[in-house]
Chain A
Amino acid sequence: MDTLKYILRNVSRNKLRSVLTILSIGFSLALMTVLIGYTAMQSVWKEEASQHHRIVVMNTQGFSGEVPISYVDRIRGMGGVNSAVPYSWFGGTYKDEEQMPFAQFGTDPQHVFEVWSEFRIAPAELDAWQDNRRGCVADRRLANRKGWKLGEQIPLKGTFFPVTLDLELVGVFDSPKDTDSLWFDWQYLDEILRASSAPTAGNAGTIFAKVAAPALMPKICQEIDDRFGSSDNPTRTQTEAAFAQMFTDMLGNIQDYIRNIGMAVVFSLSLVAGNTMAMSVRERTTEIAVLKAIGFPRTRVVGLILGESCGIALVGGCLGVVAGCASLELLHQLSRQFFPISVLELAGPWLLLLLAISAGIGVLSGMVPAFRAGQLSIVDGLRRVI
């Protein structure tokens, strides 16, 4: 019999108590995993965005303000800008599905693959899109999930825009990461909006531009904002990475609150687990006294108790991390717009951090009972029953 076996036997001594402690630690760690995983997801998105030196132009009032379509050509003509396209979020419903089943954007088929130059599409399919005003292209993974074939009719009923688009899938593109996106011709949307005299006609939404070199991005962003600063629709231009960060920042304080609440939960759980350990050790006072009587040194007794508390916490932590990762993956499968990255791509040091937090809970919860066990007078411990 070795020490580990003895610790495991003690953990299984009161199965219900151990299981409940493990589950409570596991549940809080699962919540922490989802939270930290989501933050990690945003970081990966931001890192990915920073690799392609794109900039995003939007109204200074944010998404509620307009960016006139005329800005696109003017930006495209600026020095250092390779290409620029309108990028207008549509947000329609598809058939009987819930709102925003996937991302939909109106853009410019002539130039969009210059801006997203890392995306790939068959030339014939690109030609087909450029020749068909009702045509659209979709991320291959989205098309596969939906079971779409070329020629598929895709009706999108607007929720923000009071119009319905009758699109036809004419191509699929390949992207490094799953974008869950469908692109259609911005002109098609604008024509329908003009026909219905909608006030939002002529609005590009946002403009994405590809810059020749990363070093040029700050200067070009400033030039664009300076150029349109005194117009009716002043712009706020930023890098795509900053744009991605903006979505994370939108959570702002909420994210801090959730993190702080998570830490508070972990701390209070440590106290609860500590109380459980203290009860468990108190019930074994005589056994601990016997161990010390037959020669177990204080360090070994402390090690046994800490090993037990850390064991429980780590098992709970591992279960929690696994459950949290499974939840993140489920969220990714259900909503790729908001959880764009699979947990398999996210795996990194943050998972070890969570396991370290679990071990920390174990140390914290076992510290006081272990110390008291170490300090226990053998004579007092034995007197409990003798």
Chain B
Amino acid sequence: MPDVTRAEGDPIISVRNVFKEFRREQMAIPVLNGINLSLFTGDYLALMGPSGSGKSTLLNLIAGLDRPTTGEIVVCGTNLGRSSEGELARWRSRNVGFIFQLYNLMPVLTAYENVELPLTLTHLKRKERDEHVRAALEVVGLTDRMNHYPRQLSGGQEQRVSIARAIVSDPRIIVADEPTGDLDAQSGTEILELMKRLNAEFDKTIIMVTHDPRAADEAKSILHLEKGQLVENPARNR
């Protein structure tokens, strides 16, 4: 089992003997074949591999968006395979922040309102929500653009809003699927710097799927997936 940091104590993410297959009509298509993985608080993992190798599938399983066909995934003490859909939704809202390649902001909401969206699921009062949103926007350096709509922002700024949305509810884990995939080099560098800061200063555990070796280099460890199996690169991990 790849143990990327070799840290002591219970892992925050524990993936044990996980298989995942998709069914297309009568045919079963295996995607993940016996994945074992442990991550600890403060880890920053880059998942790499060719298209169709199962990177995003593994990310979705760890983020509680999907369930394994067999095997066990325990994240933040919750066995995700045994949770109902409603329990998973609640769990995600508390424990996971999402960063997508295409930002996926709500176009009808301002930057402020996009960041506030996850907090509408909490019992926080309006004033408390306001404090959280402003703090998140402060972290990503966009307080001066909080009343702008996504269409009024650059791609890099949109991704920063997306990161603010991911951290506003203070989740322990951040999953990022190709976070720099749609950005120019300068904006991509800024986003990677920001993610590195989230990991270093705020102790967020980050799993990032990327094709970009430059982005992967910013992570503390890199794992390769090939044909649904993890291939470690111990020489790179630190």
B86 close to A297 (CB less than 8 A): yes
Asked if B178 contacts A293 (CB within 8 A), the reply is no
B118-141 residues with Cβ-Cβ distance < 8 A to A are 118, 120-121
Q: B92 and A293: CB pair below 8 A?
A: yes
Quick check: A286 and B104 within 8 Å, CB to CB?
A: yes
Partner of A386, one of B85, B100, B116: B100
Cβ of A249 under 8 Å from chain B = no
Once the chains bind, are B109 and A295 in contact (CB under 8 Å)?
no
Q: Which residues of A contact B120 (CB under 8 A)?
A: 1-3
Digitize B98-120: 1 where CB-to-A-CB distance is under 8 Å, 0 elsewhere.
10111010111100010011101
Q: What is the CA–CA distance of A6 and B108 in the complex, to the nearest angstrom?
A: 8
| Contacting residues, chain B, for A248 (C-beta < 8 A) | none
Query: Are A10 and B108 neighbours in the complex by a CB distance under 8 Å?
Result: yes
A interface secondary structure, majority: helix
Decide: B121 and A295 in contact? CB cutoff 8 A: yes
Complexed CA–CA distance, A293 and B91 (Å): 10
Q: Of residues 284 to 319 in A, which have CB atoms within 8 Å of B's CB atoms?
A: 286-287, 290-298, 300
- Residues of chain A within 8 A (CB-CB) of B63 are 293
CA distance A290 to B177 in the complex (A): 13
Counting chain A CB atoms within 10 Å of each CB, which of B60, B65, B86, B109 scores highest? B65
A residues 1-18 near B (Cβ < 8 Å) are: 1-3, 6, 9-10, 12-13
Given A9-B109, A12-B108, A287-B106, is A295 in contact with B93 using a C-beta cutoff of 8 Å? yes
Contact A294 B60 (CB under 8 A): no
Give per-residue flags for B203-233: 1 if the beta carbon is below 8 A from chain A beta carbons, else 0: 0000000000000000000000000000000
Q: Kindly state the separation between the CA atoms of A378 and B100 in the bound complex, as whole angstroms.
A: 13
A377 to B234, CA, bound (A): 36
Q: Is B89 interfacial (CB-CB < 8 Å)?
A: yes
CA distance A293 to B85 in the complex (A): 11
The docked-state distance in angstroms from the alpha carbon of A1 to that of B112 is 9
- Let me know if A298 and B117 touch, CB within 8 A: no
Do B56 and A386 touch across chains, with their CB atoms under 8 A apart?
yes
Minimum CB–CB distance for A385 against chain B, Å: 5
> Which of B56, B65, B102, B165 lies in contact with A378, CB distance below 8 A?
B65
Q: Mark A347-384, 1 if CB is under 8 A from B, else 0.
A: 00000000000000000000000000000001100100
How far, in Å, is B102 (CB) from chain A's closest CB?
5
Our pick among B56, B117, B177 for the contact of A294 (Cβ within 8 Å) is B117
Convert B66-90 into 0s and 1s, putting 1 for each residue whose CB lies closer than 8 angstroms to a CB of A.
1000000000000000000110011
Flag A111-149 by CB within 8 Å of B: 1 or 0 each. Answer: 000000000000000000000000000000000000000
Interface size on A, residues (CB 8 A): 25
Whole-angstrom distance between the alpha carbons of A297 and B90 in the complex?
7
Using Cβ atoms and an 8 Å threshold, which residues of chain A touch B104? Answer: 286-287, 290, 382, 385
How many residues on chain B are close to A (CB under 8 Å)? 30
Given contacts A2-B120, A386-B100, A386-B102, contact A292 B60 (CB under 8 A): no
Is there contact, CB below 8 Å, between B100 and A294? Answer: no
- Inter-subunit contact B66/A379 (CB<8 Å): yes
Question: Are the C-beta atoms of B92 and A295 separated by less than 8 Å?
Answer: yes
- The distance in angstroms between the C-alpha atoms of A3 and B119, with both chains bound, is 12
Whether the pair B65, A295 counts as a contact (CB closer than 8 A) is: no
Distance in angstroms between the alpha carbons of A253 and B98 in the assembled complex: 62
B116 touches A1 (CB 8 A): yes
Cross-chain contact B89 with A296 (CB below 8 angstroms): yes
* Alpha-carbon distance A205/B3, docked complex (angstroms): 105
Q: Are B90 and A295 in contact (CB under 8 A)?
A: yes
The complex places the Cα of A291 from the Cα of B104 at a distance, in Å, of: 10
Q: What's the nearest-Cβ distance from chain B to residue A205, in Å?
A: 67
Given known A-B contacts A295-B93, A382-B100, A1 and B106 have beta carbons under 8 A apart: no
Contacts of A300 in B (CB 8 A): 121
Contact A379 B65, beta carbon cutoff 8 Å: yes
In the complex the two chains form, what is the Cα distance from A290 to B106 in whole Å?
Answer: 9
User: Do A9 and B98 contact each other (CB < 8 Å), given the known contacts A295-B92, A297-B86?
Assistant: no
* Chain B residues within an 8 Å CB radius of A10: 108
B89 surroundings in chain A (CB, below 8 A): 292, 295-298
Contacts A1-B113, A386-B56 hold; do A290 and B100 have CB atoms under 8 A apart? yes
Which partner residue on chain A sits nearest B65 by CB separation? A378
The answer to whether A385 and B92 touch (CB under 8 A), given A295-B121, A298-B85, is no
Contact (Cβ within 8 A) B56 A293: no
Output the residue of A286, A290, A294, A300 with the most chain B CB within 10 A. Answer: A294
In the bound complex, what is the Cα–Cα distance between A288 and B153 (angstroms)? 22
CB-nearest residue of chain A relative to B162? A290
Question: B166's closest neighbor in chain A, by CB?
Answer: A294
B-side contacts of A298, CB under 8 Å? 85-86, 89
Taking a contact as CB atoms under 8 Å apart, the answer to whether B102 and A1 are in contact is no
Q: A378-B65, A382-B100 are in contact. Are A294 and B108 (CB under 8 A)?
A: no
Query: Within 8 Å CB of B86, what residues of A?
Result: 297-298
Instruction: Give the docked Cα–Cα distance between A291 and B113 (Å).
Output: 13
Chain B residue at minimal CB-CB distance from A6: B109
30 A-B residue contacts at CB 8 Å? A1-B117, A2-B120, A3-B120, A6-B106, A6-B108, A6-B109, A9-B108, A10-B108, A12-B108, A13-B107, A287-B104, A287-B106, A290-B98, A290-B104, A290-B106, A292-B89, A293-B63, A293-B98, A294-B98, A294-B117, A294-B118, A294-B121, A294-B165, A295-B90, A296-B121, A298-B89, A379-B60, A385-B101, A385-B104, A386-B177
Given A296-B89, A386-B178, 10 more A-B residue pairs with CB atoms under 8 Å apart are: A1-B113, A291-B117, A294-B93, A294-B121, A295-B89, A295-B90, A298-B85, A298-B86, A298-B89, A379-B66
- Nearest first, the 9 closest Cβ-Cβ pairs linking A and B are A295-B93, A9-B108, A1-B113, A290-B104, A297-B89, A378-B65, A295-B92, A294-B118, A379-B66
